[in-house]
Amino acid sequence: MNISGNTIFVPGATSGIGLALALRLHDRGNTVIVGGRREDRLAAIAAEHPGIHTVRIDTADESSIDRAARAVITAHPGLNVLITMAGVMRAEDWTTPDGFLSTAEETVTTNILGPIRLVAAFIEHLRAQPDATIMTVSSGLAFAPLRVTPTYNASKAAIHMLSESLRLQLAGTSVSVLELEPPAVRTPLMPGHEDNEAAMPLDEFIDEVMELLENRPDATEVQVERVKFLRYGEARGDYDQVVATLNRTDPHGR
């Protein structure tokens, strides 16, 4: 993925990693469209950051995705990058259905069906572009499980394998597939996440991501150094120690 000169849609980017990445990409000369559910947040982003475009989208709602896709493509026919950023992370207790069923269903709808539906809504348009990118967003927890977030872990593992499979299917086309794999980052993803000193500061994370995007335009996975502890536990042969350390350090995954 080239670092500039793109038209980029980032649904789920009204806060956290999504918004920070959208702003940095805009600063590097890209046309950026931020998507989100809350009209007030979208209006505030547009007012605070002239040049950023916005569109309302609920990635848990198939009809909302279809409407937003039509609006984005009509307004920005040069769109060539889709970043499937939206996601939720919930603590769950799988010892009783009351402790996990509703959150598990919500997580699967947002974290797995959301990206699938987004790709479905944009794939034909992206394939018509001379150079296009789908950036998926998984997690270090796709490779090592956090005890308190089973469905989140599973959803991100699914996104990793979806990314691998899409890359195979789209080989030879104009569309590349790039997987962003964040570690714990100080964002509002879960209560207390923003203040956790064990998590990576958001600005540091985005700095490193932008450097990787610039220096490795042909990469298939964007991995800051902090996520490699989780990403390569099995390959190193210390997976059991990684899982033990992850779940001992912070029971809430922060």
d(C-alpha 201, C-alpha 189), whole Å: 13
User: Residue 75: how many CB atoms within 10 A of its CB?
Assistant: 12
d(C-alpha 106, C-alpha 102), whole Å: 6
Under DSSP, is residue 135 helix (H, G, I), strand (E, B) or coil? strand
**Using an 8 Å Cβ cutoff, are 72 and 125 in contact?**
no
What amino acid positions are annotated as catalytic residues?
A: 152
Q: What is the DSSP letter of 173?
A: S
Q: Can you point out the beta strands (E) in the chain?
A: 7-11, 31-36, 53-56, 81-83, 132-137, 175-180, 221-222
Backbone angles phi and psi of 161, in degrees to 5: -70, -35
